[in-house]
């Protein structure tokens, strides 16, 4: 079952929730992303919701109305939990049936408007939890522009290692420190070794960075020993979110050889609350290309389907809000804008490669796409690139400068998809603030 354009994507559709019809609304009726929420500062149970305009449709309340039936109602019942894992495990047919039922119920002139009106809660009145139990997390390294830029800082004559163009590089990360947007964190400490020092020291990180990524959530899993074929990979991807994989560059520089990142990555990672389903993203799929002069993928990573529509054009923006900006009510400063379409490997190729050895994925597992940098300098997805390894100061809109993050800095990432002939959909935002070290 591949992702196809259907009636839920019709750009002519509007909703009886008027805020969903605004020109730059993140959550029109064509989007319908999922999250786990409750009313802010309440003792309510966390439960599933769907975004529509500036509202959350409470799926627990919707279930009680019994306006749905069949597979859509079964899927709705699976959503009646403090995490989405059971629903994600049902697979694409169930996801699609519930999406269609929600679309019909939320469209203008819906016969269910009266029942569903009582199920809406304003988004500004809610708080979020992680949308699912993330059992395992794998961070990939799929932007060749990021890999080349960073590699050039350390290996000017040989920035890309020999395997990069053959294999979707990744490492297994720490799921326990993935938190929801708004979860501020303390500056990490660890072993640092300055270039001119004889021995390392234990100290707070001085080169704290963000990484602009997409999070990719696995839905239906696979049995151990049963690889997922490339053209079936879409059946196993539930959706995507914004993902900030915070990085302690000075800790990373000392520890990463020979086995890669460890404490430099495991202290904090932040996800946006809403999962944008792969079905919602269908209109924004684009062809995937590989330069003819580069090695072409091995057979298990190659298909006509992946070539024709394997990429997603998701716009990704990063802004920085300093403590001074907040105190003086100044807007955050724009840092960069890029797109996931520049990724050297597709989400389907990540799934196929991850499982080719027989590794079993489970509902709720998450992939990080790796820092998504584009071909131009202003599309860099990290401060490491923007500051050329800390050698060049970045001037912010209010005159402040940065090379790496300072205490009190908030990083805000936003994402959206937009093209002629389709309704713009958004990812919302992911943000968090750096607090002083707790040493």
Find the range with the poorest average confidence among 79-88, 151-160, 359-368: 151-160
Report d(CA 366, CA 52) in Å as an integer: 25
% residues pLDDT > 90 (the chain): 95
CB 205 within 8 A of CB 187: yes
Asked about 9 being catalytic, the answer comes back as no
pLDDT digits (tens, 9 = 90+) for 177-231: 999 999 999 999 999 998 889 999 999 999 999 999 999 999 999 999 999 999 9
pLDDT at 1: 54
Crossing angle of helices 70-78/92-106, nearest 10°? 100
Q: Which residue out of 146, 236, 342, 353 is catalytically annotated? A: 146
- Residue 391 makes CB contacts below 8 A (sequence gap 6+) with 403
Residue 90 contacts by C-beta under 8 Å, 6 or more apart in sequence?
A: 74, 75, 78, 219, 220
DSSP 42-79: --PPPEEEEEETTEEEEHHHHHHHT---HHHHHHHHHT
Neighbouring residues of 197: CB distance < 8 A, sequence distance ≥ 6: none
Q: Please, which residues have CB within 8 angstroms of residue 268's CB and are 6 or more apart in sequence?
A: 177, 179, 183, 185, 188, 246, 432
Q: How many CB atoms lie within 10 A of CB 395?
A: 11
* Residue 114, token pair as written in the block: 């009266």
Domain assignments of the chain as residue spans, ordered by start: 7-129, 137-435
Q: What's the confidence (pLDDT) of residue 109?
A: 95
Q: Which architecture characterizes domain 137-435 according to CATH? A: Alpha-Beta Complex (3.90)
**153 or 166, greater pLDDT:** 166
Please name the CATH architecture into which domain 7-129 falls: Roll (2.30)
């Amino acid at each position: 079952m591949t992702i196809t354009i259907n009636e839920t994507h019709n750009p002519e559709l509007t909703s009886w929730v008027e805020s969903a019809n605004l020109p730059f609304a993140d959550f029109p009726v064509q989007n319908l992303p999922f999250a786990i929420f409750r009313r802010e500062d309440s003792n309510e149970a966390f439960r599933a919701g769907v975004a529509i305009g500036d509202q959350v449709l409470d799926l627990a309340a919707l279930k009680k109305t019994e306006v749905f039936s069949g597979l859509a109602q079964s899927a709705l019942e699976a959503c009646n939990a403090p995490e989405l894992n059971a629903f994600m495990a049902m697979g694409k047919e169930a996801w699609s049936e519930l999406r269609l039922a929600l679309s019909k119920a939320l469209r203008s002139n819906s016969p269910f408007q009266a029942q569903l009106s009582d199920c809406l809660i304003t988004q500004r009145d809610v708080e979020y939890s992680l949308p699912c139990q993330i059992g395992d997390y794998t961070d990939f390294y799929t932007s060749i522009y990021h890999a080349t830029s960073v590699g050039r800082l350390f290996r000017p004559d040989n920035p890309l290692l020999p395997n990069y163009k053959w294999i979707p590089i990744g490492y297994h990360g720490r799921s326990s420190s993935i938190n929801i947007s708004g979860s501020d964190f303390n500056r990490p400490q660890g072993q640092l070794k300055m270039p001119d020092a004889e021995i390392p020291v234990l100290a707070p990180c001085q080169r704290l960075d963000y990484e602009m990524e997409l999070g990719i959530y696995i839905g239906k899993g696979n049995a151990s020993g049963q690889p997922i074929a490339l053209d079936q990979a879409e059946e196993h991807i539930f959706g995507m979110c914004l993902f900030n994989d915070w990085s302690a560059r000075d800790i990373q520089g000392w520890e990463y050889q020979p086995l890669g990142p460890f404490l430099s990555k495991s202290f904090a990672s932040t996800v946006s609350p809403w999962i944008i389903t792969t079905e919602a993203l269908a209109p924004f799929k684009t062809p995937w290309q590989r330069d003819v002069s580069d090695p072409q993928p091995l057979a298990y990573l190659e298909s006509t389907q992946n070539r024709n529509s394997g990429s997603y054009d998701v716009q990704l923006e990063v802004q920085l809000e300093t403590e001074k900006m907040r105190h003086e009510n100044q807007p955050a400063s724009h840092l960069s804008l890029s797109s996931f379409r520049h990724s050297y490997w597709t989400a389907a190729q990540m799934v196929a490669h991850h499982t080719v050895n027989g590794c079993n994925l489970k509902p709720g597992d998450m992939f990080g796409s790796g820092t998504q940098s584009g071909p131009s300098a202003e599309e860099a997805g990290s401060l490491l690139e923007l500051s050329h390894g800390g050698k060049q100061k970045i001037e912010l809109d209010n005159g402040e400068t940065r090379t790496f993050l300072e205490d009190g800095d908030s990083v805000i990432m936003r994402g959206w998809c937009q093209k002629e002939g389709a309704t713009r959909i958004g990812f919302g935002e992911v943000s968090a603030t750096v607090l002083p070290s707790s040493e």
